[in-house]
Amino acid sequence: MTSAGDEEVDAVLSDVESDEPVPIVIKDPSREDVSVDKFREILAELDREKQAREAAENSKSELQVSFNRLKALAHEAIKKRDECGRQRDEALREKEEALRSNDNLTAQLAEANKTKDEVTKQREELAKQLEEASKGKDGLRSEIETSAHMLVSGIEKISGKVNNFKNFSAGGLPRSQKYTGLPSVAYGVIKRTNEIVEELVKQIETTTKSRNEAREQIEQRNYEIAIEVSQLEATISGLRDEVTKKTNIIENLEKNIAEKDGKIGEIEKEMSEKINLAEDELMELRNLTSEYDDKLRIWQMRMELQRPLLVDQLNFVSRIHEIIYDVIKIVDADNMDQSDVSESFFLPKETDSEENIRACLAGMESIYELTGILAGKTKDLVDEKNREVKSLKETVARLIKEKEHIGSLLRSALSRRMVSENKSKTNELFQTAENGLREAGIDFKFSNLIGDGNKAEDPGSDQDEIYTLAGALENIVKTSQLEIIELQHSVEELRAESSVLKEHVEAQAKQLNQRMHHIEELEEKERVANESVEGLMMDIAAAEEEITRWKSAAEQEAAAGRAVEQEFLAQGFVVAVLSSHHLEVLPVWNLQFSCRLSGEGSVLSAVKLELEEAKQAMLESEKKLKFKEETAAAAMAARDAAEKSLKLADMRASRLRERVEELTRQLEEFETREDSRGRNGPRYVCWPWQWLGLDFVGFHKPETQQQSSNEMELSEPLSEPLL
């Protein structure tokens, strides 16, 4: 059969190889019929034929390459077919051997019949033993009937147990035209047994075929799962990069907030101390001047009427002079001029009122001079305080400008870095995609997509950003005076808000650390699963058929190439959108943050908006991570299910194989045992009684052994559901 199959395949391949293009025969026309137009037409036709021949040769070369591949696959298929044919021939040889063993059994049965005839002849010759012979004959007939009944009942039980595969008890036992009686029953039982064995062989072949198909499907699914896992790893790495960037941004924001809070607290403390000192001094001066005015009016009204009070007045004038002098010392003790201010005392005289009045006038003049000096000193002090306040305002404005300049520099550097990183990453991704497609046999380049993406960038985005920043700075300068006053009232609220923000940031950092740890655990689990899956795939690949493996591999490579192409196109679009979105969002966020630090009126709203944005970003990242975890868990579950199904199929196939081997071994043991017993009971060797779960006539087995041989050996192999 193998040689015949090889000859057929060679004939088919020779027929395919012999399909050479038929040469085109062009008849030479006669010179009389040739004209210029016809000659041109013939030249044009020759050109067309040359082009057609070149195209045909190109197509022929391509077809030759594909034909060579198909030829190699066909040779492999022929080899596999020959191997299957050899296996089938071996099965047929085994079947023929079983038939020969059955023929031997029938021959032995015929010999037994011959011996029986000889015995009957001897019994006829012996007249004395006629009655005993008749009795033995009746007993033999009853035994034959019981044995036939047992054979029929046993084969009916066996056919009833295999009714789920095929209905064998529809038309009864097969009949034989050659044999009658017990041999005909034995013939029917043997025929039915052969049918059952053939049906079992078919079922085993179908189970092996379905198992191989299931393995192919599982291998294809594992390949798809590996692709999905690689995509998940890429997305998880991207999410990890985003999380690190956001954590860096949050840390920078925390540092800036802490620095600005410290500077604002110091400035506020200095301003409050200086303002409190100035207010206290002004209140003291106002109180003193009011008291002095009241006392002077009272002294002027009562000076003439109450002359004795002049002395007291002069005393009070001297005291006022001393107090003002002390106040001047307190206000400006370092730069006080001793020539302008004297410490002379006005001594009162009780006898001479004029001198007292003059002394009082001189004291008043001195007090006036001292008050003028005091007013100048206080004015200088107030001017100095105003200059200090102005210098503080200038330092605050300068710090704000420096902070804005630093923020703009950081934004520009961050945008450039992100653009360069995104470009490098996209170029690496596109290069990897081109290499993968080139290995899969698809020549596709992403340079056109990169060029279109660069052309699509808006050239006026930088100019618009500069204008928006300039307008924001102008508004900040206009509102800075009012915002400094409001800042004093909102510092405490800002501190409380910053503390809440710090706590929230710490909680988010803890959550991020937990998620990073969880991601690492998932990566470890995924690595272990990949290792187990790789080992399982290696074990499965060693046992698969070669032709199905190459076909499925070719289909999987084509499908994987298309999927990778679509995935990288989609990823390129998503990366471009995300990069543009980050470039647009980060400057706005930094601008909002700079406005929040420069103006205290919109601080709370800006902080709340930033917190809401951070919360939304964290929720989105959590959702993405949860989705990736669910997909990874689904992939792992699919792999586990595939592994379990493969293990179950292998276990069932091994069980069936072991049971078939056990049955064959029991049959061989029974044949050897029956051969050894053939001398003592030749009429019971016609059928394997014990294998069918029946008892010999006159031979009693224990009940447990009979049940085990009748039920376990026959019903147990058929009770398992086939794949």
pLDDT, tens digit (0-9, with 9 covering 90-100), for 257-291: 778 777 777 877 877 787 777 677 778 777 777 77
Q: Residue type for 421, please? A: E
pLDDT, tens digit (0-9, with 9 covering 90-100), for 54-104: 888 888 888 888 888 878 887 888 888 888 888 888 888 888 887 887 788
What pLDDT, on a 0 to 100 scale, did the predictor assign at position 516?
A: 66
Q: What is the C-alpha to C-alpha distance for residues 107 and 689, in angstroms, rounded to an integer? A: 18
Q: Among 386, 404, 422, give the residue marking a domain's end.
A: 386
What pLDDT, on a 0 to 100 scale, did the predictor assign at position 585?
A: 41
Are the CB atoms for 342 and 369 separated by under 8 Å? no
Number of domains in the chain: 2
Structure tokens at 420: 């360069």
Q: Higher pLDDT residue, 377 or 312?
A: 377
In a domain, 362, yes or no: yes
What pLDDT, on a 0 to 100 scale, did the predictor assign at position 310?
A: 65
171-187: buried (b, 16+ CB within 10 Å) or exposed (e) per residue?
Answer: eebeeeeebeebbbbbb
Q: What is the C-alpha to C-alpha distance for residues 9 and 565, in angstroms, rounded to an integer? A: 39
pLDDT, tens digit (0-9, with 9 covering 90-100), for 499-514: 665 676 577 667 666 7
Structure tokens at 224: 């798809």
In a domain, 128, yes or no: no
> CB within 8 A of 692, min separation 6: which ones?
151, 154, 155, 158, 710, 714
What pLDDT, on a 0 to 100 scale, did the predictor assign at position 402?
A: 74
Q: What is the C-alpha to C-alpha distance for residues 494 and 588, in angstroms, rounded to an integer? A: 22
Q: What is the C-alpha to C-alpha distance for residues 679 and 194, in angstroms, rounded to an integer? A: 27
In a domain, 235, yes or no: no
Q: Higher pLDDT residue, 523 or 387?
A: 387
Q: What is the C-alpha to C-alpha distance for residues 714 and 671, in angstroms, rounded to an integer? A: 18
Q: Residue type for 410, please? A: L
What pLDDT, on a 0 to 100 scale, did the predictor assign at position 687?
A: 44
In a domain, 83, yes or no: yes
Q: What is the C-alpha to C-alpha distance for residues 720 and 658, in angstroms, rounded to an integer? A: 13
Are the CB atoms for 489 and 612 separated by under 8 Å? no
Q: What is the C-alpha to C-alpha distance for residues 685 and 101, in angstroms, rounded to an integer? A: 12
Q: Higher pLDDT residue, 75 or 691?
A: 75
Q: What is the C-alpha to C-alpha distance for residues 151 and 174, in angstroms, rounded to an integer? A: 13
Four-residue CA torsion sign, 657, 659, 663, 668: positive
Q: What is the mean pLDDT of residues 537-560?
A: 61
* Range with the poorest average pLDDT among 116-130, 338-352, 430-444, 460-474: 338-352
In a domain, 108, yes or no: no
Cα-Cα end-to-end distance for the chain: 31
Distance from CA of residue 62 to its chain's centroid? 41
What pLDDT, on a 0 to 100 scale, did the predictor assign at position 616?
A: 76
Residue 694 pLDDT exceeds 50: no
What pLDDT, on a 0 to 100 scale, did the predictor assign at position 534?
A: 67
In a domain, 62, yes or no: yes
| pLDDT tier at 334, thresholds 50, 70, 90 | low
Q: What is the mean pLDDT of residues 155-159?
A: 75
pLDDT mean across residues, the chain:
67
Which region holds residue 172: left if phi is over 0, alpha if psi is between -120 and 50, else beta?
Answer: left
| pLDDT tier at 144, thresholds 50, 70, 90 | confident
Are the CB atoms for 404 and 474 separated by under 8 Å? no
Q: How many CB atoms lie within 10 A of CB 599?
A: 20
Q: How many CB atoms lie within 10 A of CB 222?
A: 20
pLDDT, tens digit (0-9, with 9 covering 90-100), for 570-600: 654 444 444 444 444 444 444 444 444 444 4
In a domain, 323, yes or no: yes
Residue 219 pLDDT exceeds 60: yes
Structure tokens at 168: 């064998």
* Range with the poorest average pLDDT among 8-17, 318-327, 567-576, 620-629: 8-17
- Report the candidate in 110, 81, 85, 100 with the shortest Cα–Cα distance to residue 12: 81
> CB within 8 A of 620, min separation 6: which ones?
none
> Widest CA span of the chain, in angstroms?
204
Q: What is the C-alpha to C-alpha distance for residues 333 and 321, in angstroms, rounded to an integer? A: 16
pLDDT, tens digit (0-9, with 9 covering 90-100), for 643-686: 676 677 677 667 777 777 777 777 777 767 766 665 454 444 44
Residue 708 pLDDT exceeds 50: no
What pLDDT, on a 0 to 100 scale, did the predictor assign at position 723?
A: 38
pLDDT, tens digit (0-9, with 9 covering 90-100), for 11-48: 444 444 444 444 444 444 444 444 678 778 888 888 88
For residue 43, the enclosing domain spans: 1-19+34-94
Are the CB atoms for 303 and 348 separated by under 8 Å? no
Report field, pTM of the whole predicted structure over 0.75: no
Residue 452 pLDDT exceeds 70: no
Annotate 334-386 with three-state secondary structure: CCCCCCCCCCCCCCCCCCCHHHHHHHHHHHHHHHHHHHHHHHHHHHHHHHHHH
In a domain, 240, yes or no: no
> CB within 8 A of 274, min separation 6: which ones?
385, 388, 389
Q: Among 340, 356, 386, give the residue marking a domain's end.
A: 386
Treating both helix axes as pointing N-terminal to C-terminal, what angle do 36-125 and 2-17 enclose, rounded to 10 degrees? 170
Phi, psi for 638 (deg, rounded to 5): -65, -40
Mean pLDDT is highest, among 280-289, 306-315, 441-450, 535-544, for 280-289
The DSSP secondary structure of 517-548, one letter per residue, reads HHHHHHHHHHHHHHHHHHHHHHHHHHHS-HHH
Residue 182 pLDDT exceeds 50: yes
Q: What is the C-alpha to C-alpha distance for residues 499 and 679, in angstroms, rounded to an integer? A: 106
Q: How many CB atoms lie within 10 A of CB 369?
A: 15
Residue 134 pLDDT exceeds 80: no
The DSSP secondary structure of 135-172, one letter per residue, reads HHHHHHHHHHHHHHHHHHHHHHHHHHHTTTT---SSS-
Q: Among 386, 412, 429, give the residue marking a domain's end.
A: 386
What pLDDT, on a 0 to 100 scale, did the predictor assign at position 453?
A: 46
Q: What is the C-alpha to C-alpha distance for residues 422 and 238, in angstroms, rounded to an integer? A: 11
CA distances from 653 to 206, 247, 323, 545, 661 (A): 11, 56, 118, 16, 12
Q: Higher pLDDT residue, 420 or 242?
A: 242
